[in-house]
């Protein structure tokens, strides 16, 4: 049973969600303020955190950035519809995906399932992927660049894995969204782009060029270069 942490100051909503999601086989723990949310999110007892950005006291963005300093746990943020700035900031800080509030519970559950599928699915039998100085081991959930370990969130890991599997070929934004986030690409949906930009920052450049190239209007490509021996 997957344990999900919900950080939201709306106590009644948390109760309803707990009831609804236990029907789907999730164990819910709800906390109602940022400081406690941060403490519980770092307890390693949960598979995923649902984090409302509008929290009294320590705000959601602050909680998120502190969680990200220590943990790659998947985080789904809840944002008020129309608060684009908060949403983009949340994704840049390291949220895996977002759901606009008020939300349809079926959609929330689908998003949670999609992220969990990517992060806790069976990876046994998968071989490490090696492209140039980049090495990604799905079984060990470990990525290294020039031997140096990378700290990636689970969605970033899944995204990079998909790009490496297709290294040298274009992967469309639609494919990436569907495979990595388990949903359709919406209009003006920049989630994948924010994730790619975060990964790029962590990878750094290779001989002054980006390792992940954006193909305007279609998608992204992991650049394979002929290494001089």
Partner 1 sequence: MKLKIPTLFLKIFFWFWATAIATGISLLITFVFGPGRVPARWHSSLTDTARSSGMIALAELERGGVPAASSYIRRFERDTQLRACLFDLDRNPIAGQGCETFADMLFRAASSRSAQFGVRYGLVRVVLILPGSGGHDYIFATELPAGPRAAFGMDKSAVFLRFAVALSVSGFICYLLTLYLTGPILHLRQAAQQLAEGRLSTRAAIDLERRGDELGALGRDFNTMAARIEELISRQRQLILDISHELRSPLARLNVALDLARGGKAGNLPFDHMESDLVRLNETIGRLLTIARLDAPAVPMEMTTVNITDLLGRIVDDAGFEAQKRDVAVNLAAPEPCYARGNAKLLHSAIENVVRNAIRYTPAGSSVDVSIRREDQSRVLLVVRDHGSGVPEKDLKKIFQPFYRVAEARDRESGGVGLGLAIADRVIRIHGGAIRAENARPSGLQVIIEIPATDPTSVS
Q: Which of 80, 130, 139, 140 forms a contact with partner 1 (CB under 8 A)?
A: 80
The verdict on 103 binding partner 1 (CB under 8 A) reads yes
Per DSSP (E only), the strands in 32-151 are 48-52, 75-80, 97-101, 129-131, 134-137, 142-145, 148-149
- Please report how close the Cβ of residue 192 comes to partner 1 at its closest, in angstroms: 17
* Residue of 108, 58, 102 whose CA lies nearest to 81: 102
Helix 191-203 and helix 84-93, axial crossing angle in degrees, nearest 10: 30
The interface with partner 1 within residues 168-187 (CB under 8 A) comprises 187
Query: Binding residues for partner 1, how many (CB under 8 A)?
Result: 23
The pattern of x and - marking residues 60 through 79 that bind partner 1 according to CB under 8 A reads --------------------
Radius of gyration of the chain (CA): 18
- With CB under 8 A as the contact rule, the residue among 1, 56, 69, 188 that binds partner 1 is 188
Tokens coding 84: 């684009």
Q: Which chain residues interact with partner 1 by CB under 8 A?
A: 10, 12-13, 16-17, 19-20, 23-24, 54, 80-82, 84-85, 101-106, 187-188
């Amino acid at each position: 049973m997957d344990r999900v942490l919900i950080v939201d100051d709306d106590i009644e909503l948390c109760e309803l969600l707990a009831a609804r999601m236990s029907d789907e086989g999730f164990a819910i723990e709800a906390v109602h303020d940022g400081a406690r949310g941060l403490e519980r999110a770092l307890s390693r007892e949960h598979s995923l955190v649902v984090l409302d950005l509008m929290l009294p006291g320590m705000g959601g963005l602050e909680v998120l950035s502190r969680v990200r300093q220590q943990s790659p746990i998947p985080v789904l943020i809840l944002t008020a519809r129309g608060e684009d700035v908060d949403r983009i900031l949340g994704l840049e800080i390291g949220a895996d995906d977002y759901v606009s509030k008020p939300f349809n519970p079926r959609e929330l559950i689908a998003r949670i399932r999609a992220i969990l599928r990517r992060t806790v699915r069976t990876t046994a039998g998968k071989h490490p992927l090696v492209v140039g100085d980049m090495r990604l081991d799905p079984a060990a959930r470990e990525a290294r660049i020039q031997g140096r370990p990378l700290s990636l969130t689970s969605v970033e890991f899944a995204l990079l894995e998909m790009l490496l599997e297709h290294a040298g070929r274009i992967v469309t934004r639609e494919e990436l969204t569907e495979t990595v986030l388990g949903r359709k690409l919406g209009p003006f949906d920049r989630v994948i782009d924010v994730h790619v930009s975060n990964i790029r920052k962590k990878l750094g450049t290779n001989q002054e060029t980006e390792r992940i190239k954006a193909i305007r209007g279609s998608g992204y490509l992991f650049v394979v270069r002929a290494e001089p021996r």
